[in-house]
Amino acid sequence: MATTTTATGSDARTFWAHADRHLVRYGGGFTREIIERASGSFVYSAEGRKILDFTSGQMSAILGHSHPAIVETVQRQVATLDHLYSGMLSRPVVNLARRLAATLPAPLEKALLLTTGAESNEAAIRMAKLVTGKHEIVSFARSWHGMTQAAASATYSAGRKGYGPSAPGNFAIPVPNAFRPDFTTSDGGLDWRRQLDFAFDLIDAQSTGSLAACLVEPILSSGGVIDLPPGYLAALKEKCHERGMLLILDEAQTGLCRTGTWYAFERDGVVPDILTVSKTLGAGLPLAAVITSAEIEQEAYDRGFLFFTTHVSDPLPAAVGLTVLDVLAAERLDERARDLGCFLRRGLEEMASCHQVVGDIRGRGLLMGLELVTDRETNQNPDELGARVTRRCLELGLHMNIVQLPGMGGVFRIAPPLTATEEELSLGLSILDTAIGEVSPAG
């Protein structure tokens, strides 16, 4: 086993002096831990601390860190065939496209292999605009789809101020948040059908008649782990097709078994026109895909679809993607995510019964959200309390991810690897329980 080098105080001071002087900050501050290595569900700091990773890296390492099968694939493939001219093809690329199609319902069978989630959403939006001949894009008001131009223009949770105009024709619709309903039924629950009707009344009023696509996540992650109500996706697809729009589903975080099914949209029996997957497909390495029907791909090709990038169809990440699919199928990680998700939810619900500040538990499989509130009557979200709990968790050996948005700072995104054990989940739950109890004045 690899050993961890313990950093001296002077080493750490030098490291952070260099980091502070030479790194561009790209979203809040850096976690003040020097990470030396990672294995399974844990990362290890230069000071010798073992930290349980409840975020799978950047919500990506679904097989844990340094999975032996991934390590072996990278070592073999990088020594054989790593990168090619973008117009050349290799067996890993064709095989991954074929294997992805086999995990999906018809008519999704054509894949474009890229690197990041932003890039895959950029390509999907570009394809939708070209195929429909229109340019307007609809997304959720708390969406996150990436930082490239079209993806950023469809992102509303953060990053819109200070950069000038976004792409014209981008519209936001309200998020169907059952914990904070804006349209309510007679019993106070969320009336998402009325909300959706209202949303598209507004879209129709603003549209110039050029609606191309609706781009959404089945479970909004940065938006607060908001799971769309059963039936919502089907109704949304109907709204889209009534207007000649394509439905694009972004399953960067929900795809490939994390929610207990291979894809989150399976629960609703809705097949998107275009699907994007990323994070989980590479299990921590940069790999993404746009998957669509032969009909849409043909129309895009006939109209001259162009998305020529440096790393499109690269063989090395494609080989990793094949290994990810192998492990997911062989270890039946969709079933494991369901079982562990039930275990995790039970633990979170027990925590909620002990701490008045836990207002809501939501999510599916091993993508869960926990929302802190200062008052269960008003559901007021305490940003500072969430930050304090996060810091205390890290001190106790648990890395947690909190939604970094004003008014959402009390929402934790919990996404451990699908390979995590019940003992590791229990450890994380215990640390979180302790941190909430120590930090919260209400306990």
Give residue-wise pLDDT tens across range 379-411: 676 778 888 999 999 999 999 988 766 666 689
* Residue ranges, CATH 3.90.1150.10, the chain: 9-60+333-439
Half-sphere exposure of 264 (CA within 13 A, CB side): 33
Segment 242-258 shows an average pLDDT of 98
Model pLDDT for residues 194-244, shown as the tens digit of each residue: 999 999 999 999 999 999 999 999 999 999 999 999 999 999 999 999 999
Model pLDDT for residues 88-122, shown as the tens digit of each residue: 999 999 999 999 999 999 999 999 999 999 999 99
Q: Does domain 70-330 have CATH number 3.40.640.10?
A: yes
Residues tagged active-site: 144, 217, 250, 253, 279, 413
| Strand 226-227 with 35-39, pairing | unpaired
Omega cis (within 30) before 107: yes
Model pLDDT for residues 268-310, shown as the tens digit of each residue: 999 999 999 999 999 999 999 999 999 999 999 999 999 999 9
Correct CATH for 9-60+333-439 of 3.40.50.300, 3.30.479.30, 3.90.1150.10, 3.40.50.150:
3.90.1150.10
Instruction: Evaluate if residue 1 carries a pLDDT over 50.
Output: no
Give 40's strand partners. Answer: 65
Torsion (CA) 130, 136, 139, 145 in degrees, nearest 10: 50
Calpha distance 23→13 (Å, rounded): 15
Beta strand residue intervals within 84-161, DSSP E:
108-114, 136-140
Calpha distance 61→67 (Å, rounded): 9
Instruction: Evaluate if residue 4 carries a pLDDT over 60.
Output: no
* Residue ranges, CATH 3.40.640.10, the chain: 70-330
pLDDT at 8: 72
